[in-house]
Amino acid sequence: MLEIKITAVSESIKISSDYYITPELITEIGTYILKFISENQKQGIITVGTFGGNNTPAFSMQMNCDKCGHILLDITMELNDNARPKHQCSFYIKTEPGLFEKFARSLNDLICAPLDTQITF
């Protein structure tokens, strides 16, 4: 199990939260994103954890492709702020397929990376 910090930044918000994730799930997420891009899928979703659970916070990213080929990410993150129920933050990030693909390919680097390794897109 790995502890990772996800920091998401959009035009109007910056949010960070810690998540626990297996190396296998990191690989699965990267593979899912690459398949989404290569098969020109219109919609997809990735969820880590269980929303409303009593343990670690959850994270979801719904992916939608527009007519011009841009990818709109609808992200929902639970905050690890000890509130019951956990507070959530939802926002959008618009990206290009090439940047999203580069991000997906770099996910496997996290598995054997030294502490404080960062990947961005």
Q: Is residue 90 one of the residues assigned to a domain? A: yes
Strand partners, 65: 71
Euclidean distance between CA atoms 31 and 87, whole angstroms? 29
Give the mean model confidence (pLDDT) for residues 91-116: 87
pLDDT digits (tens, 9 = 90+) for 54-93: 677 899 999 999 989 899 999 999 887 877 878 899 999 8
Q: Is 31 helix (H, G, I), strand (E, B) or coil?
A: helix
Asked if the structure places residue 117 within a domain, the reply is: no
The answer as to whether 18 is a domain residue is yes
Residue 120 lies in a domain: no
Q: Distance between CA 24 and CA 121 in Å, rounded? A: 21
| 40 belongs to a structural domain | yes
Per the structure, the count of domains in the chain is: 1
Residue range 18-54, pLDDT digits in tens: 888 899 999 999 999 999 999 999 999 999 888 887 6
Phi/psi zone of residue 100: left (φ > 0), alpha (ψ -120 to 50 degrees), beta?
alpha
- Whether 116 maps to a domain, the answer reads no
Q: Kindly state whether residue 37 falls inside one of the protein's structural domains.
A: yes
Domain span holding position 46: 2-110
DSSP state at residue 86: P
Identify whether 121 is part of a domain. Answer: no
Whole-model pTM: value is 0.87
